Amino acid sequence: MSNLPSHRVQESTAFYNTGVDYAGPFQVTWSRRRGVRSQKAYLCLFVCLATKALHLELASDLSTATFLSALKRFVARRGTVKNIYSDQGTNFIGAANALNELYDLLSSQIFVDAYTRELLEHRIQFHFNPPAAPHFGGIWEANVRAVKTHLYRTIGAQILTYEELNTVFVGIECILNSRPLCQLSSEPGDPLVLTPAHFLMQSPTNHLPVVDQDVSVRLGDRYKFIQQLLSDFWKRWSNEYLSSLQERSKWLKDSSSKLEVGMLVLVKSENTPVLSWPLARVLELYPGADGVARVALIKTSGGVCKRPAVKLCPLPNQ
């Protein structure tokens, strides 16, 4: 494997170097009243190239003006952005040209006050990947693929309102930013792992609990439906994410040495609650006749137990 680009490893604030892409279209409606026609909407996805944190924005179309509005909302909530990397979509190129015209206009003024100087100092630079080269944006293309694939499977033929789809996008953003990156502690019962959310709000992600469909709660059916969509997305995406960690470990090292004593692992289990990542420490390995360990003794927050190796997933940095 070759070295990562400098913007992927340099010390910076979250989203200082950002990748951006679109997914969609998704069918939405502005109201549930009769006679209101549905229309297309899109997902604008920003991904931090250093921390892998994500920010999702709902866009009504693919125009340059709509992208600039999404970019303005993104910067207002996430802070300074210096470099934006994307493919050569016409909306991105138009946005880059519009920003360049704005900066040229400001710099040509005779009286440049402190506010204008500050804006110029924080000039956002656009970097476009070569045409027909999606692998140049692999870090954000992979996230777009994961969101788009599971979102389509989760929503199906349902047409959501603009507000409902925006709620789903923000919930998915919360889920994606909860994924573990590396360990912080040696005790399974403690907050052990660093997640993208820690770089955004210095704490793990959290949201309102998902309402059990079997519990009698006086909430609107649509609210419970949206919560169920997020729960379904979590089940699909988390299972794929854990499987990808196992595939990555096979690719980076010999399969017989995937697990090691003392390693912190994620435990695959059925019906894991949303935003819950069961963690365990490997205490002992039990190799078979061929020398490959297919069973491990692990310590979780609930005690010590044995689990098959196929249910244990190394963290991304291991």
b/e map 87-110, b = 16+ CB within 10 Å: bebebbeebbeebeeeeeeeeeee
Residue 69 counted as domain residue: yes
Higher-pLDDT residue of 247 and 63 is 63
Count up the domains in the chain and report the number. Answer: 1
Mean pLDDT, rounded, for 206-220: 53
Which amino acid belongs to residue 56? L
Phi-psi region of 132 (alpha: psi -120 to 50; beta: other; left: phi over 0): left
In a domain, 5, yes or no: no
**Residue 57 counted as domain residue:** yes
Instruction: Kindly state whether residue 245 falls inside one of the protein's structural domains.
Output: no
Q: Which range, 46-60, 110-124, 146-160, is most confident?
A: 46-60
Q: What is the pLDDT of residue 106?
A: 41
- Dist. CA 53–CA 195, nearest whole Å: 8
Residue 249, domain member (yes or no) = no
Q: How far apart are CA 144 and CA 164, in angstroms?
A: 20
Q: Is the pTM for the entire model greater than 0.85?
A: no
- Please tell me the least confidently modeled range out of 132-141, 145-154, 174-183: 132-141
Residue 80's pLDDT is 82
Number of Cβ within a 10 Å radius of residue 182: 13
What is the domain extent for residue 114? 14-145
Q: How far apart are CA 281 and CA 296, in angstroms?
A: 10
Say if CB 149 and CB 142 are below 8 A apart: no
Q: Tell me whether residue 22 is in a domain.
A: yes
pLDDT at 297: 92
CATH number at residue 21: 3.30.420.10
The answer to whether residue 21 is domain-embedded is yes
What pLDDT, on the 0 to 100 scale, is given for residue 57?
Answer: 93
For residue 73, count other CB atoms closer than 10 A to its CB. 14
Burial of 282 from C-beta contacts in 10 A (0-12 / 13-18 / 19+): buried
Does 50 map to a domain?
yes
- What DSSP assignment string belongs to 129-171? PPTT-GGGGHHHHHHHHHHHHHHHHHHTT--EEHHHHHHHHHH
